Structure 1
Amino acid sequence: MYYLLIFVVALSAFYLGFEAPEISNTTWAASLFILLSYASYIDIKTFEIPDLVSIGLFPLGALWCATHASSYLYENLAGSCATLVALSLFNSLYRRVREQDGIGFGDIKLLASSVLWIGIAALPATLLIAATSGIVASLIGISKKGRQQIAQPIPFGPHLSLGIWITWIVGTQSLTDIIAHSRELFS
């Protein structure tokens, strides 16, 4: 309820014409990176993503979207809500069929909140990166610990965080800038 209140206040301030102070892209990037890293660390340790991150990214994402991509704010809000509902329904169906969760609710909240940062169109790329990363991590675990590792759950938050981070970085920079920067690093 606390996060909903923060979100309503932030959205009301935007709607009423409050001018947010200019926050550099570096500050936004650092904030997102720190929150995703924290979520990953906690998920690895406890198999839970803290609400502070999964829900907290929602008002921050709305503020970022309002100040950097305001024409997409309502689309991203709707996409975030649709993601929450669709993944919750998918998980309910999966639980009914398999008698276990397919994805944790923290992962669902993290993905739904991330839509405000990355946009609904980037969600498939985010999931592809996360799934690929999760499969690679599982294969490495199997190669190190043997076949009994197959039945073990993995914390999916770090893989989602990686997908979110990559799609956000790529989405906020042009491909030309990324290539130019990588050439500078390797030359």
Structure 2
Amino acid sequence: MWGVIGFLFGAIVGSFLATAAIRWPAGEQAASGRSRCDHCRRTLSPFDLIPIVSFLVRRGRCASCGKAIDRKHLLIEIASAAIGGLSFSLAPGLAGVGGAVFGWGLLLLAVLDVEHFWLPDRATGTLTLLAIAFGAAGAAPFPNDRLIGMAAGFLSLWLIGRAYRLVRKREGLGGGDPKLFGAIGAWLGWAALPTVFLLAGLAGIGSALLARARGEAISATTSLPLGALLAVAAWPVWLFLFARG
């Protein structure tokens, strides 16, 4: 039952995350105004707002203009529902709610980083504050581990970026990456940071090899969305560490 509740609630959250991922980079507020078609701007009916189901029933097209609905809506809703379902079923209670919130925040940031190389301070800051709040409410890890993790995550990547700039005379890390790593440290604690960084590095190598296999040019100056790689690595680490009972 907890898994079903988490899945359904996650799908609802995913609808908001998808809207934010599309509107926010365009300079619009995700929570302002009624939900509408991105093409004809028609206000959506209650039936059109049912997460996942509406997209499938409408076959991915607006009921009014017939234009294709951005598939990010469906994919983000499914991913968000899966995060909620797994979190709630594997760790019922406060821990599961925290894990779901952590995963949803990482999902939004990963999408924004992949598509726009953008990690908004507002999103990473909120994710960090929520981590501190859940720690204060009693969710593992302990508050001290979270605070140390926040500082260690931020400083480690900031120093790496600073050193790279001094040696190579150009930017190697975006300004949002250290902040996101600090937020991850606030959720997982300092001891989990090396594992997250290692998994993110392996994911980055895999992404580069896959791109090269597709015929894309890969060089020392090729940009990869480090924030998205960190996000993809961090939530499975949470599952392993805190969702086992």
- Return the TM-score normalized by structure 1: 0.74
Which has a greater percent of helix? 1
Q: In structure 2, the residue corresponding to 1:145 is in which secondary structure?
A: coil
Match of 2:140 among 62, 69, 89: 69
Match of 1:37 among 107, 127, 131: 107
Gapped regions of structure 1 (runs ≥ 5)? 1-22, 178-187
1:73-92 equivalences in 2 (<5 Å): 73-92=143-162
Cα distance in 2, alignment partners of residues 76 and 166 from structure 1: 18
Q: In structure 2, the residue corresponding to 1:68 is in which secondary structure?
A: coil
Counterpart contact for 2:150–2:186, Cα < 8 Å: yes
- Return the TM-score normalized by structure 2: 0.57
Cα distance in 1, alignment partners of residues 230 and 109 from structure 2: 10
Cα distance in 2, alignment partners of residues 29 and 74 from structure 1: 18
Counterpart contact for 1:87–1:108, Cα < 8 Å: yes
Gapped regions of structure 2 (runs ≥ 5)? 1-92
Shift in alpha-carbon separation, 1:78–1:30, aligned structure 2, 3 A: closer
CA RMSD of aligned residues (A): 2.0
Match of 1:142 among 212, 225, 233: 212
Partner of 2:94: 24
User: Is 1:126 aligned with 2:196?
Assistant: yes
In the TM superposition, what is the alpha-carbon distance from 1:78 to its structure 2 partner? 2.5
Q: Which has the higher contact order (CA 8 A, sep 6+)?
A: 1
Cα distance in 1, alignment partners of residues 94 and 150 from structure 2: 24
Percent identity over the alignment is: 27
Counterpart contact for 1:36–1:53, Cα < 8 Å: no
Cα distance in 1, alignment partners of residues 102 and 114 from structure 2: 18
Cα distance in 2, alignment partners of residues 54 and 73 from structure 1: 18
Cα distance in 2, alignment partners of residues 68 and 100 from structure 1: 41
Aligned residue pairs, count: 152
In the TM superposition, what is the alpha-carbon distance from 1:169 to its structure 2 partner? 1.2
Cα distance in 1, alignment partners of residues 145 and 243 from structure 2: 20
State which structure, 1 or 2, has the greater radius of gyration over its C-alpha atoms: 2
| Counterpart residue type for residue 25 of structure 1 | A
